[in-house]
Structure 1
Amino acid sequence: MMLFTEVRGLPVVLPAEAGPLGTVTSLTVDPASGTVSHLRIRGGRLRRETALAWDAVHTIGPTAVRLRAATAPDTVPPRHDLLGRRVLTEAGTEHGTVLDVAFAPETGRVLTVFTTRGEVPADRMLGLGDYALVVRAG
């Protein structure tokens, strides 16, 4: 298990390359599947923010994110960061703000969303937009 806050800022490297491609700025989540869909990176050889599909990730460790091979940037999905996002139930009841997210680095599967009002299991995520993460009431 890893936390989003542990991944943010890690260098992203390619096999047999000298320097980092960039650093992780955020992870994009697909609430419908409950998985990380993209890795957002910036800096290094990439001057602007770029999104790479999760499939390009080989391993994530405490010191770096390693990609499988040279990967073309993916179509950048809308930027809806989970960290700091307001959390609402489907009925509109406030459930705090997202502090962190636990996920399986091998698969990208989201395990738990940690909010200012407690933990929310990933299977309760319904949608994510500009305004809030919407979860099923528990």
Structure 2
Amino acid sequence: MMLFSRVRGLPVMTPGDANRLGEVRGLTVDSAPWRVTSVRMARGRLRRGAVVPWSALRAAGPDMLIVRPAGGPEEVAAHHELIGSRVLTECGEERGTVLDAAFDPVTARIEAVLTTRGELPPGRLLGLGDHALVIRTGRAHHQA
């Protein structure tokens, strides 16, 4: 498992010649089926932004991300920032703030969301928007 906080700042490299494309600034999450869909990175001295689809990654490790050479355009999901988001129940009750998230670097699936009030399994997650991460209120609402 990898943590979002540990990926931020990692270099994004090409295979073989190991050209540095940029540095990870964040990860984009798709709330259906709760997986990382793309890497947002800063490039060059002016720190221009770029987005790389997670499907373009060849490897994700503790020291760098390696992307395959650019191909045709791929659709990238809209970005909503998970880290720092407020956590609300489906009833609108405040449940803290997202501190970090753990994901599987091979499948890109979110394994857990770490909040100021504890850890949330992916089964409790309902949606992520501009204003908050929305969760189920408890185990009674959890669907297997």
TM-score norm. by structure 2 comes to 0.87
The answer to whether the 8 Å contact 1:80/1:128 transfers is yes
Q: Distance in 1 between matches of 2:46 and 2:52?
A: 12
Displacement of 1:73 in angstroms is 6.2
Q: Could you tell me how far apart the structure 2 residues matched to 1:93 and 1:128 are?
A: 15
- The answer on 1:79 being equivalent to 2:75 is no
Q: 1:46, 1:19 → 2: CA distance? A: 18
Determine helix, strand or coil for the equivalent of 1:96.
strand
Contact 2:43–2:50 (CA under 8 A) maintained in structure 1 = no
Gaps of 5+ in 2: 139-144
Contact map agreement 2:41 2:49 (CA 8 A) in 1: yes
Asked if the contact 1:50–1:73 (Cα under 8 Å) also holds between the matched residues in 2, the reply is: no
Q: Alpha-carbon deviation of 1:93?
A: 1.1
37-46 or 115-124, larger mean C-alpha shift: 37-46
Query: 1:131: how far off?
Result: 0.5
Q: Distance in 2 between matches of 1:13 and 1:78?
A: 24
* 1:39-78 paired onto structure 2 within 5 Å: 39-44=39-44, 47-71=47-71, 74-75=74-75, 77-78=77-78
Q: In the alignment, what sits opposite 1:109?
A: 109
Q: 2:78 is aligned with what amino acid?
A: P
Change (3 A) 1:25 1:34: same
**What's the CA shift for 1:53?**
1.1
- For the pair shown, which has the larger CA radius of gyration, 1 or 2? 2
Helix, strand or coil at the partner of 1:123: helix
Q: Secondary structure at the match of 1:133?
A: strand
Q: Alignment identity in percent?
A: 53
| Gap regions ≥5 residues in structure 1 | none
Q: Is the alpha carbon distance of 1:32 and 1:77 closer, same or farther for their aligned partners in structure 2, counting shifts above 3 Å?
A: closer
Query: Cα–Cα, structure 1 residues 71 and 49, in superposed 2: closer, same or farther, change >3 Å?
Result: farther
Distance 2:77 2:18 in 1: 29
**RMSD of aligned residue pairs (Cα, Å):** 1.9
Query: Partner residue of 1:38?
Result: 38
Q: Distance in 2 between the 1:30 and 1:20 partners?
A: 26
Please report the TM-score for the alignment, with normalisation by the length of structure 1: 0.91
Deviation at 1:120, TM superposition (A): 0.7
CA–CA separation in structure 1 for the residues paired with 2:108 and 2:76: 18
Q: Secondary structure at the match of 1:63?
A: coil
